[in-house]
């Protein structure tokens, strides 16, 4: 692995080549491996190691970035030249701030320690160990006369930043992930989990749950689309709510592309919805600083259904304070959520944690309390239909069940939904304790299962 | 380069590989963007590295590294061997490869102007001019422009003796105007969504796109959508302009014909396919007018799926996919061709970069134009009542590729052969084969555009790939419209 000391040396070599007023270097990369299986066979099995240095130079309001994965002298000279050539010819942006200094950051809380997210056992995982776990999963599939497909991935990653005003920050983290689909002739089941520590993964349990879902949803019935009470398992919640959070950045409001324009401070969701961004949460992962090296702060985004605060990069906070919206958007301060500059998005909260409900209900309790409804394991191919009403469309997948009189009675053919996310979060009747959740359409979060009334299914497909 | 590859192949061979290949890549890209007159992006990137893919005991291993010295090459080859041996612990049968002749070839994307030779000042000035034109329209609240270039040089060596040197150029550009008012955000993109138009060609594409000339119209349409009627709900005849038809092909033809999906290899992520093997040459996929090819050859045009050889050394080909409505072909690799009894791979294996494994990807999946002369305006003139859909806004399809729903940025109601009103928030939905069987007219070659889709995601780890889709406007009868807002 590239070390902090090696990165510091590369940064000092880059500074020698720079003529710009300011220089900032981001380092990222690591080692990763992924064992992929399908048809009860490992069919793809890959490993890589790579590190990039991304050099941002700035000349008085003009800035640009160039990236390379080569650290020899010629490559470092070339990457600095490329960055400076892109920056020099621009018109100055009067709102571009100087890179942050360590003093500017000194009053900020630096939240988690990196040791909490880096595990030696995960970093050292071998292809043989991953294959053994896949063998265990395939054995469970074969026991149930099913076909297994999925992945077992592991990685050891780093993220670092140095700038010419002396700020530096460094983060390392491991990750282990398993995703399993169990296929039967006319049904399927799915489970996925991701943790920094491989010891938290239980391949056999995940395989067993996926297999049970495939078995229980066999011979699916077709029922008419319409508005139903649904119980969304955490992965289904994650993939829908994930479409909201890019709109919680200050720049999204300034750009007038957020569904929160003219809605901050109003009651947008149900009383039972409170949402935080908290990189330090024990179930969260990721680096404790943003794309400029600013420590990420804990921010309450939604309190009892009311949107309270946005997240900000340094530049967006400064622009917001001068804007016509300044008095209408809640507290305006740098929160440490900026993406590397230059970028078009600004910032976003990426460590979402739903506040636990006062009276959490397990998925089983939610099912038991439902006279007629639908249990959704997972959603798929979700896209935004309407950006202001936040109408999303997508499909159910890999385990959709009819609930009648408090019990799962059969599998169902999959539905297409067209559902306003605002309405969905206003119609939540019950929630589980939030859990660390991983799916395919959004970044990992800490979210609950939800029982939602009047979820809008508009079509049904052929399986 | 050749010596490094020979070391890697030699190690694989010594340790028991029955097949191995090496790809060495130098990948350079530039991204420029503006947003409301400011720089949105100005970045260059260069990534160099290599990989080795080995087949041992009938199972695959793959390892990659950015370090091109001898010790790294040897260590990476050894890692690939260890990985393949681990793969062999969980298998049902041995991988077999369809035969392929070894070749030595050099090829470069045909281009007139190297996009990296144009000054950054000139590019930014063009984008700022477009940006200013968009924002000169009252009511435009956000203007975004972009311009992107890529040059990817690849050397491919195989244990069977191939030595293929390819250099591919990609150019893309486009813009979006947003208009926020009341409780609606409307937008218009040019010449397409997904960053505009993308092709494998040089800077000459930028001049062809007429970016400045169309900016005020696009800005005006974004604002005008606020005064337009909501698209009605019901069953209507519809006309898709060519970029939307290109995406319709991508989702409801291109993905389901991928043999890895059909054979269950993508079941955990991208999904499977309704096109099970018994449907080949028996399924009536579409009406008689529907003719679709998968064509990676240079003569098809400068699509994002145009190349000389794929990433496992198979020459570019044209495969008939739908012939007069009949389903006639899949996208295949050497491994999947062998599994289904094809004599040869269709040559569709591509990888995002040096650190990714080649997988089956769409090449240029294009619908052939109608043989009789027919412009879009003539098609409209021959239509009693329909809705015209223009420029994609949302897209979704199930994991077997039956049920789809698309929304576009703008729609037009056609009555008695004329566009009578603009419609906002248009959407349509259906079942793949029912939809293609309802196509009753397609415009001719002069209306045909080879669109680039730069953002197709597939595989684990995820790989983003560019695909090409040629299409001319076409009409479909009795399609469900408006469900997205029901």
**pLDDT, tens only, A275-293:** 999 999 999 999 999 999 9
Distance from CA of A456 to the nearest CA of B (A): 9
Burial class (CB in 10 A: 0-12, 13-18, 19+), B282: exposed
What ipTM was assigned to the predicted interfaces of this complex? 0.97
Contacts of B477 (CB under 8 A, 6+ apart): B237, B438, B440
Question: Which pair of structure tokens corresponds to residue A84?
Answer: 């400076």
Contact: B46, A69; criterion CB under 8 Å: yes
Interface membership of B48 toward A (CB under 8 Å):
yes
Chain position carrying tokens 């119209």: B217
**Chain A residues with beta carbon closer than 8 angstroms to that of B84:** 45
Question: Which pair of structure tokens corresponds to residue A184?
Answer: 């039967």
What does the alpha-carbon distance between residue A33 and residue A176 come to, in Å, rounded to a whole number?
10
> What residues are paired with B149 via a beta bridge?
B30, B171
Contacts of B346 (CB under 8 A, 6+ apart): B294, B314, B317, B319, B329, B330, B331, B332, B333, B337
Interchain CB contacts (distance < 8 Å): A and B: 283
What pLDDT digit, counting tens, does each position of B72-96 carry? Answer: 999 999 999 999 999 999 999 999 9
In chain A, whose CA is at the least distance from the CA of B141?
A256
Residue A403 pLDDT exceeds 80: yes
Helix/strand/coil for B222: helix
Residue A3: how many other CB atoms lie within 10 Å: 12
What pLDDT digit, counting tens, does each position of A240-289 carry? Answer: 999 999 999 999 999 999 999 999 999 999 999 999 999 999 999 999 99
For residues B338-344, give the mean pLDDT: 97
Alpha carbon A53 to its chain's center: 23
Contacts of B10 (CB under 8 A, 6+ apart): none
**Chain A residues with beta carbon closer than 8 angstroms to that of B461:** 32, 34, 46, 153
Crossing angle of the two packed helices A4-17 and A73-88, in degrees rounded to 10:
60
User: Which residues in chain B (88-147) have CB-CB distances under 8 A to chain A?
Assistant: 88-93, 95, 119-121, 124, 128, 141-142, 144
CB B170 within 8 A of CB B200: yes
User: Which residues in chain A (71-130) have CB-CB distances under 8 A to chain B?
Assistant: 75, 78-79, 82-83, 85-87, 89-91, 93, 95, 126-128, 130
Parallel/antiparallel/unpaired status of strands B365-367 and B359-360? unpaired
Residue A66 pLDDT exceeds 60: yes
Interface membership of A36 toward B (CB under 8 Å):
yes
User: Which residues in chain B (418-457) have CB-CB distances under 8 A to chain A?
Assistant: 425, 427, 429, 431
Interface membership of B343 toward A (CB under 8 Å):
no
Q: Report in angstroms the alpha-carbon separations of A243 from A273, A335, A385, A449.
A: 16, 21, 11, 17
Question: Which pair of structure tokens corresponds to residue A221?
Answer: 């019935």
- What superfamily would CATH give domain A4-209? PmbA/TldD superfamily (3.30.2290.10)
> What's the Rg (C-alpha) of chain A?
24
Query: How do the domains of chain A map onto residue ranges?
Result: 4-209, 216-241+357-460
Q: What is the DSSP letter of A376?
A: E
Contact: A45, B87; criterion CB under 8 Å: yes
Angle at B476 between CA B472 and CA B482, to 5 degrees: 110
Burial class (CB in 10 A: 0-12, 13-18, 19+), A98: middle
Interface membership of A210 toward B (CB under 8 Å):
no
> What residues are paired with B471 via a beta bridge?
B449
Q: Which of these, A221, A310, A304, lies nearest to A268 by C-alpha position?
A: A304
CB B349 within 8 A of CB B360: yes
What pLDDT digit, counting tens, does each position of A182-208 carry? Answer: 999 999 999 999 999 999 999 999 999
Interface membership of B263 toward A (CB under 8 Å):
yes
Residue A105 pLDDT exceeds 90: no
Q: Is the peptide bond before A76 cis (omega within 30 degrees of 0)?
A: no
Contact: A391, B461; criterion CB under 8 Å: no
In chain A, whose CA is at the least distance from the CA of B50?
A48
Residue B57 pLDDT exceeds 60: yes
The pLDDT score that the predictor gives to residue A115 is 56
User: Which residues in chain B (294-313) have CB-CB distances under 8 A to chain A?
Assistant: none
What does the alpha-carbon distance between residue A320 and residue A308 come to, in Å, rounded to a whole number?
15
What does the alpha-carbon distance between residue B9 and residue B205 come to, in Å, rounded to a whole number?
39
Question: Which pair of structure tokens corresponds to residue B362?
Answer: 């769409």
DSSP E strands, B253-384:
292-295, 318-323, 326-327, 349-350, 359-360, 365-367
Question: Which pair of structure tokens corresponds to residue B298?
Answer: 């240079």
Query: How do the domains of chain B map onto residue ranges?
Result: 2-227, 229-485
Average pLDDT, chain B: 98
**Chain B residues with beta carbon closer than 8 angstroms to that of A175:** none
Annotation: CATH topology of B2-227: PmbA/TldD fold (3.30.2290)
Q: For an interface test with B, give the residue of A25, A33, A34, A46 to mutate (most B CBs within 10 A).
A: A46
- At residue A386 the predicted structure's pLDDT band, cuts being 50, 70 and 90, is very high
Crossing angle of the two packed helices A203-216 and A127-143, in degrees rounded to 10:
30
Interface membership of B185 toward A (CB under 8 Å):
yes
Nearest to A257 among B62, B79, B142 (CB): B142
What pLDDT digit, counting tens, does each position of B372-418 carry? Answer: 999 999 999 999 999 999 999 999 999 999 999 999 999 999 999 99
In chain A, whose CA is at the least distance from the CA of B66?
A50
Parallel/antiparallel/unpaired status of strands B418-424 and B229-230? parallel
Contact: B79, A47; criterion CB under 8 Å: yes
pTM above 0.90, yes or no: yes
For chain A, give the percent of residues with pLDDT over 70.
98
For residues A367-394, give the mean pLDDT: 98
Interface membership of B364 toward A (CB under 8 Å):
no
B405-431: b or e for each residue (b if 16 or more CB lie within 10 Å)? Answer: bbbbbbbbbbeebeeeebbbbbbbbbb
Q: Which residue has the higher pLDDT, A109 or B131?
A: B131
In chain A, whose CA is at the least distance from the CA of B425?
A386
What does the alpha-carbon distance between residue B302 and residue B452 come to, in Å, rounded to a whole number?
9
For residues B362-370, give the mean pLDDT: 98
What does the alpha-carbon distance between residue A177 and residue A33 come to, in Å, rounded to a whole number?
11
- At residue B221 the predicted structure's pLDDT band, cuts being 50, 70 and 90, is very high
Contact: A151, B427; criterion CB under 8 Å: no
Contacts of B36 (CB under 8 A, 6+ apart): A255, B131, B135, B142, B143, B144
Residue A108 pLDDT exceeds 80: no
Contact: B121, A65; criterion CB under 8 Å: no
Residue B248 pLDDT exceeds 80: yes
Sign of CA dihedral A438, A444, A446, A447: negative
Nearest to B90 among A37, A95, A463 (CB): A37
The pLDDT score that the predictor gives to residue A109 is 54
For residues B287-312, give the mean pLDDT: 98
Nearest to B60 among A44, A52, A382 (CB): A44
Q: Which of these, B187, B197, B173, B196, lies nearest to B221 by C-alpha position?
A: B187
Nearest to B180 among A75, A86, A261 (CB): A261
The pLDDT score that the predictor gives to residue A112 is 46
For residues A135-152, give the mean pLDDT: 98
Interface membership of A256 toward B (CB under 8 Å):
yes
What pLDDT digit, counting tens, does each position of B92-139 carry? Answer: 999 999 999 999 999 999 999 999 999 999 999 999 999 999 999 999
What pLDDT digit, counting tens, does each position of A304-339 carry? Answer: 999 999 999 999 999 999 999 999 999 999 999 999
């Amino acid at each position: 692995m590239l070390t902090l000391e090696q990165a510091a040396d590369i940064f000092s070599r880059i500074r020698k080549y720079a003529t710009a007023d300011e220089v900032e270097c981001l380092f990222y990369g690591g080692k990763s491996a992924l064992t992929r299986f399908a048809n009860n066979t490992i069919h793809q099995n890959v490993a890589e190691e790579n590190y990039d240095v991304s050099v941002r130079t700035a000349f008085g309001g003009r800035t640009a970035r160039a990236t390379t994965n080569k650290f020899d002298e010629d490559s470092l000279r070339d990457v600095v030249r490329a960055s400076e050539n892109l920056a020099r010819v621009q018109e100055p942006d009067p709102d571009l701030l100087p890179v942050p200094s360590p003093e500017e950051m000194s009053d900020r809380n630096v939240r988690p320690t990196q040791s909490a997210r880096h595990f030696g056992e995960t970093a050292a995982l071998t292809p043989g160990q991953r294959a053994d776990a896949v063998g265990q999963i395939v054995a469970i599939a074969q026991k149930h006369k099913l076909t297994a497909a999925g992945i077992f991935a592991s990685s050891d990653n780093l993220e670092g930043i140095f700038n010419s005003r002396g700020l530096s920050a460094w983060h390392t983290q491991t990750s282990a992930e398993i995703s399993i689909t169990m296929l039967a002739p006319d049904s399927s089941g799915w489970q996925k989990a991701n943790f920094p520590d491989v010891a938290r993964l239980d391949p056999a349990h995940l395989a067993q749950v996926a297999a049970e879902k495939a078995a229980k949803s066999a011979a699916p019935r077709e029922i008419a689309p319409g508005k139903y009470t649904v119980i969304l398992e955490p992965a289904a919640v994650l993939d829908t709510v994930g479409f909201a959070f890019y709109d919680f950045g200050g720049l999204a409001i300034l750009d007038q592309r957020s569904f929160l324009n003219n809605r901050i401070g109003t009651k947008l969701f149900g009383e039972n919805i409170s949402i935080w961004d908290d990189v330090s949460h024990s179930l969260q992962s990721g680096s404790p600083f943003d794309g400029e090296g600013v420590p990420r702060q804990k921010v309450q985004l939604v309190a009892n259904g009311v949107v309270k605060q946005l997240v900000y990069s340094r530049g967006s906070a400064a622009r917001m304070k001068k804007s016509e919206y300044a008095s209408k958007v809640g507290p305006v301060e740098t929160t440490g959520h900026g993406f590397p500059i230059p970028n078009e998005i600004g910032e976003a909260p990426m460590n979402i944690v739903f506040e636990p409900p006062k009276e959490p209900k397990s998925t089983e309790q939610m099912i038991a309390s439902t006279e007629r409804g639908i249990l959704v394991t997972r959603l798929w191919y979700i896209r935004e239909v309407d950006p202001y009403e936040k109408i999303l469309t997508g499909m159910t997948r890999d385990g959709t069940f009819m609930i009648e009189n408090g019990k799962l009675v059969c599998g169902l053919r999959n539905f297409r939904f067209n559902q306003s996310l605002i309405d969905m979060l206003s119609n939540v009747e019950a929630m589980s304790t939030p859990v660390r959740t991983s799916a395919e359409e959004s970044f990992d979060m800490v979210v609950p299962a939800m029982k939602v009334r009047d979820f809008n299914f508009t079509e049904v497909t052929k399986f | 380069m050749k010596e490094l590859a020979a070391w890697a192949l030699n190690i694989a061979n010594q340790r028991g590989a029955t097949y191995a290949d090496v790809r060495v890549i130098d990948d350079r890209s530039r991204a420029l963007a503006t947003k409301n007159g400011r720089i949105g992006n100005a970045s260059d990137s260069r990534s160099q590295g290599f990989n080795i893919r080995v087949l041992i005991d009938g199972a695959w291993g793959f390892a990659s590294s950015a370090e091109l010295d001898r010790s790294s090459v040897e260590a990476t080859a050894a890692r690939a061997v260890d990985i393949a041996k681990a793969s062999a612990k969980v298998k049902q049968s041995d991988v077999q490869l369809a035969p392929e002749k070894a070749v030595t070839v050099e090829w470069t994307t045909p281009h007139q102007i190297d996009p990296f030779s144009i000054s950054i000042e000139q590019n930014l000035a063009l984008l700022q001019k477009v940006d200013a034109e968009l924002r000169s329209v009252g009511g435009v609240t956000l203007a975004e422009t972009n311009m992107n270039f890529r040059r990817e040089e690849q050397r491919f060596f195989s244990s069977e003796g191939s030595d293929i040197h390819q250099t591919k150029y990609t150019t893309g550009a486009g813009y979006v105007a947003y208009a926020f008012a009341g409780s609606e955000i409307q937008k218009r993109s040019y010449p397409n969504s997904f960053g505009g138009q993308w092709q494998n060609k040089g800077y000459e594409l930028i001049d062809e796109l007429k970016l400045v000339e169309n900016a005020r119209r696009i800005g005006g349409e974004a604002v005008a959508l606020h005064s337009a009627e909501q698209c009605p709900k019901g069953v209507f005849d519809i006309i898709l302009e060519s970029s939307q038809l290109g995406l319709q092909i991508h989702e409801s033809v291109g993905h389901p014909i991928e043999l890895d999906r059909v054979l269950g290899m993508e079941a955990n992520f991208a999904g499977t396919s309704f096109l099970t093997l018994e449907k080949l040459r028996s399924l009536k996929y579409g009406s008689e007018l529907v003719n679709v090819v998968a064509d990676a050859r240079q003569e098809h045009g400068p699509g994002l799926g145009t190349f000389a050889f794929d990433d496992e050394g198979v020459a570019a080909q044209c495969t008939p996919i739908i012939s007069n409505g009949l389903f006639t072909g899949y996208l295949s690799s050497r491994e999947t061709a062998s599994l289904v009894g094809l004599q040869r791979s269709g040559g569709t294996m591509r990888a995002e970069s040096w650190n990714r494994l080649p997988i089956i990807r769409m090449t240029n999946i294009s619908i052939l134009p109608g043989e009789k002369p027919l412009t879009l305006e003539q098609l409209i003139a021959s239509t009693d009542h329909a809705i015209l859909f223009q420029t994609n806004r949302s897209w979704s399809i199930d994991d077997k590729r039956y049920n789809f729903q698309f929304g576009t940025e703008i729609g037009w109601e056609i009555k008695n052969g004329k566009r009578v009103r603009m419609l906002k928030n248009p959407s349509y939905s259906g079942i793949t084969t029912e939809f293609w069987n309802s196509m009753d007219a397609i415009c001719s070659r002069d209306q045909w555009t080879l669109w680039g889709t730069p953002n197709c995601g597939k595989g684990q780890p995820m790989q983003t790939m560019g695909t090409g889709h040629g299409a001319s406007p076409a009409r479909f009868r009795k399609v469900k419209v408006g469900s997205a807002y029901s």
